[in-house]
Amino acid sequence: MSLVTYVNGRFVPKEEATVSVYDHGFLYGDGVFEGIRAYNGRIFKLEAHVDRLFESAHTIGIAVPMTREEMAQAIVETVRRTGLRDAYIRPVISRGPGDLGIDPRKCPRPSVVIIVDAIQLYPEEAYRTGLRLITTSTRQRPVDVLNPRIKTCNYLNNIMARIEVNLAGVDEGLMLTSQGYVAECTADNIFIVAQGRVLTPPAHLGILRGITRQTVLDLCERLGIPAGEQILTLHDMYTADECFLTGTGAELGPVVLLDGRTIGTGTPGPVTLRILGAFRELAARGGTPIYEASGAPAGA
């Protein structure tokens, strides 16, 4: 099967998936999206992702032209038509076509697109040897400008930080708040392990409340590992016993170097690896089934 994309109610080949150049998502980044993973024929945390997608759309004033149930069904059907069992899924809701001004009233109907493809942010070796990070000079946008909890299509702030990462020749970048507290990475949430506790910055500082981030907190409770939110500084990061980042694409990525400082022993730590193992076990067996009970793609 070839890759199939959902575009405003139609399933089309990837090469034919287009939206208008007058779409305000293209012109102004006026839209929201989600990143979702499918593992072994099951979509991981589908309901949570759809809920966050609709919350983001509601906050920026986009009336989604379908229900949450219809969105979930469209996502499942799009993956099913590709025949993939492991996939990355990107639903996007933009303001829709309008004129060349920014007035949302000129966009009568939002565009809904669901992209299904493969993704691998980091090579498998990175999970064995660890990732290298820098602290970017580009700061996280504050909540009184544009709340990072909204998963908006306007990612220019993160892209500017990513450019710094590329120029430094490392794997990821840590972004701080305007007050200098640890926020998140350019595309991931961040955790440390300190004195046996798993800690992550609190959501009110202005971070995306990641689905994988919450899954890690839930897994820690199940595994009996003390975990919670705490305001962190670079000093906390540099002196941590372990560090890892989380995200839909990255899953759990061990961090061994930040700004030239070795984190812990300089290798992925035991707590990180234990949580990563538990996460992969959960992802392999949990989630919304895509195909029939036989495991064969529909129509195969």
- Domain termination site, one of 91, 119, 147: 119
166 and 211 housed in the same domain = yes
Q: What is the mean pLDDT of residues 175-199?
A: 97
Range of the domain at 87: 4-119
Tell me, yes or no, whether 146 lies in a domain.
yes
Catalytic residue among 14, 45, 106, 151: 151
CB neighbour burial string for 246-270, b if at least 16 within 10 angstroms, e if fewer? bbbebbbbbbbbbeeeebbeebbbe
Query: Is it the case that residue 296 has pLDDT exceeding 50?
Result: no
In this prediction, residue 261 carries a pLDDT of 98
In this prediction, residue 107 carries a pLDDT of 98
Segment 120-141, tens digit of pLDDT: 778 888 888 999 999 999 999 9
181 and 265 housed in the same domain = yes
In this prediction, residue 128 carries a pLDDT of 87
- Domain termination site, one of 119, 140, 163: 119
Query: Is it the case that residue 300 has pLDDT exceeding 80?
Result: no
- Domain termination site, one of 94, 119, 144: 119
Please give the model's pTM, rounded to 2 decimal places. Answer: 0.93
Burial (CB < 10 A; 0-12, 13-18, 19+), residue 124, is exposed
83 and 138 housed in the same domain = no
192 and 156 housed in the same domain = yes
Please say whether the beta carbons of 68 and 54 come within 8 A. Answer: yes
| CATH code at position 35 | 3.30.470.10
Please say whether the beta carbons of 12 and 59 come within 8 A. Answer: no
Tell me, yes or no, whether 208 lies in a domain.
yes
212 and 188 housed in the same domain = yes
Tell me, yes or no, whether 84 lies in a domain.
yes
Segment 20-50, tens digit of pLDDT: 999 999 999 999 999 999 999 999 999 999 9
Segment 148-180, tens digit of pLDDT: 999 999 999 999 999 999 999 999 999 999 999
| CATH code at position 233 | 3.20.10.10
In this prediction, residue 295 carries a pLDDT of 42
Query: Is it the case that residue 97 has pLDDT exceeding 70?
Result: yes
Segment 197-229, tens digit of pLDDT: 999 999 999 899 999 999 999 999 999 999 999
Query: Is it the case that residue 297 has pLDDT exceeding 50?
Result: no
Tell me, yes or no, whether 203 lies in a domain.
yes
217 and 89 housed in the same domain = no
Tell me, yes or no, whether 176 lies in a domain.
yes
Tell me, yes or no, whether 115 lies in a domain.
yes
Query: Is it the case that residue 284 has pLDDT exceeding 80?
Result: yes
178 and 34 housed in the same domain = no
Helix axes 211-223, 270-285, angle to 10 degrees: 110
Domain count, the chain: 2
Tell me, yes or no, whether 296 lies in a domain.
no
Residue 151 is among the residues annotated as catalytic for this protein: yes
173 and 261 housed in the same domain = yes
In this prediction, residue 1 carries a pLDDT of 65
86 and 63 housed in the same domain = yes
53 and 11 housed in the same domain = yes
Tell me, yes or no, whether 278 lies in a domain.
yes
Q: What is the CB neighbour count within 10 angstroms for residue 190? A: 28
Please say whether the beta carbons of 45 and 52 come within 8 A. Answer: no
259 and 130 housed in the same domain = yes
Tell me the pLDDT of the chain averaged across its residues: 94
Q: How many CA atoms lie within 13 A of 163 on its CB side?
A: 7
205 and 110 housed in the same domain = no
